Amino acid sequence: MKIAERARLVAPSLSSINTSELITVLALVGSAAFLRFWRLGTPDDFFFDEVYHAFTAREFLHGNPAAWEFTATPPPGFAYEWTHPPLAKLFMAGGMAIFGENPFGWRFFSALFGTLSVLMVYLIGKKLFKNEEIAFLAAFLAIFEGLWFVQSRIAMNDAYVVFFLLATIYFMLTERHLFAGIFLGAAFASKWSAIWVVFPIALFFVYQYLQTEKERRRTFAIDSLLNIPYFYIAIPVFIYLLAYLPFFLTGHDFRDFWDTQRQMYWYHSGLEATHPYQSPWDTWPITQRPVYYYLSAAGDAKIYALGNPIIFWIGLPALAFALWQGVKRLRVAFQEDTGDISFRGRLTSTEFGLIFVVFTYLAFLLPWALSPRIMFFYHYLPSVPFLLLALGYGLWRLWQEGRGKPVAMALTATAVITFVYFYPHWAAVSVPDWLEESYYWFPSWR
């Protein structure tokens, strides 16, 4: 198969979506947009790491060359954010160019990509499981997940990289590799930790190879050796360099670029620092240590980056269940092939989807175990969509069982109620002291 054919540039046909599904998808996206954009201008000034990201984006907008330089001295109380690639900050600058130099402007694209990520969860779920109900459950829960909600309403790069990663995975699964490469480049141009998407990409191509008939595997392998470097290396590198175009247009040369890349590497590999809200990677799945982002001047409104505990906690057994279901079917498929590793016609999309979801969840989580730098709870965010996909599958399986239907309904409703309860804690809404104190279920949540 030729490269052009494998790229499949034509977008998915809308004719494959019926009216009821279109209404459902629009309701999901509309609900996500309402929650993420409502009161987006609160707080009305920089908070938490916006003093790095949004401040630097504003300086980009002003054409300040010092904003790109790791040696430059910023004003008191701020810092030039050069430790990550610039694409997310360029979007923030674009938001300010459109909406003005105000909180809504510098947070606009975070909220937009946080909203579109809900759509991506739906599309990935439908592609993997061939089941609109599983996709709906996962996307519905994504609307009410607290960590994702908070990161979609702050001018940091996390909401950007998650959306770009999800788009990369979706277009890879649909074999639109050109778009996958573009979004992979955008993800890497927002945050280097996007590199871990190489593991699900590798799994997908291995699966495709095993699903290919034996007589065509050689051709598939040769095509892949041509396609993968082009779509998943060359194009992402081009996008990454393109993100630095304003860097070169503000008087910097390639030597400056290379020095910046080295400084970024040294920062992330050699940073020795402590922070009261840092947390090790293995505490993130149970949302043990949230991050305190904001306190209003009156002291009655706060923002904590805290996961929705119901979603996080029931998501873990759902992941275990998905793994068990996927591995069990994998073993059966292998045995049916009498030891020959060929699953064509035996390993269904759903069974691959289960393995893919758990594998990708772990691919974005486990590398942090080797990280030499301090870590924070929000680094867990790229794993969360795949936790939700596993949870969507688990709730759907419960729904299929007569006795499990009330349980599935109760768990879903409890997740939504928990979001409503924690909403003031996530969105800087003033509450009375008695309600504020009720949010700290554990000492580590303070």
Burial level of 16, CB count in 10 A (0-12/13-18/19+)?
exposed
d(CA 245, CA 135): 38
d(CA 141, CA 416): 8
**Confidence (pLDDT) at 213:** 87
List, for residues 68-122, the tens digit of each pLDDT value: 999 999 999 999 999 999 999 999 999 999 999 999 999 999 999 999 999 999 9
The residue behind tokens 């790095």 is 52
Based on C-alpha coordinates, what's the Rg of the chain?
A: 22
**Confidence (pLDDT) at 340:** 53
Ramachandran angles phi, psi of 302, nearest 5°: -140, 165
Portion of the chain with pLDDT greater than 70, in percent:
92
Tokens of 268: 């992330």
Angle between helices 405-427 and 384-400 (to 10 degrees): 150
Give the model's confidence band at 171: pLDDT under 50 very low, under 70 low, under 90 confident, else very high. very high
Amino acid at position 394, single letter: G
Half-sphere exposure in the Cβ direction for 55 (13 Å, CA)? 19
d(CA 87, CA 93): 10
Tokens of 244: 């630095």
- pLDDT, averaged across the chain: 92
DSSP element (H, E) containing 210: helix 198-211
Tokens of 257: 């670029």
Q: Which of 362, 363, 360, 352 is nearest to 327 (CA)?
A: 352
Tokens of 51: 């003093």
**Confidence (pLDDT) at 346:** 58
Give the model's confidence band at 342: pLDDT under 50 very low, under 70 low, under 90 confident, else very high. low
More confident: 58 or 227: 58
**Confidence (pLDDT) at 3:** 44
List, for residues 41-65, the tens digit of each pLDDT value: 999 999 999 999 999 999 999 999 9
The residue behind tokens 């573009």 is 182
**Confidence (pLDDT) at 333:** 59
**Confidence (pLDDT) at 10:** 39
pTM comes to 0.94
**Confidence (pLDDT) at 4:** 43
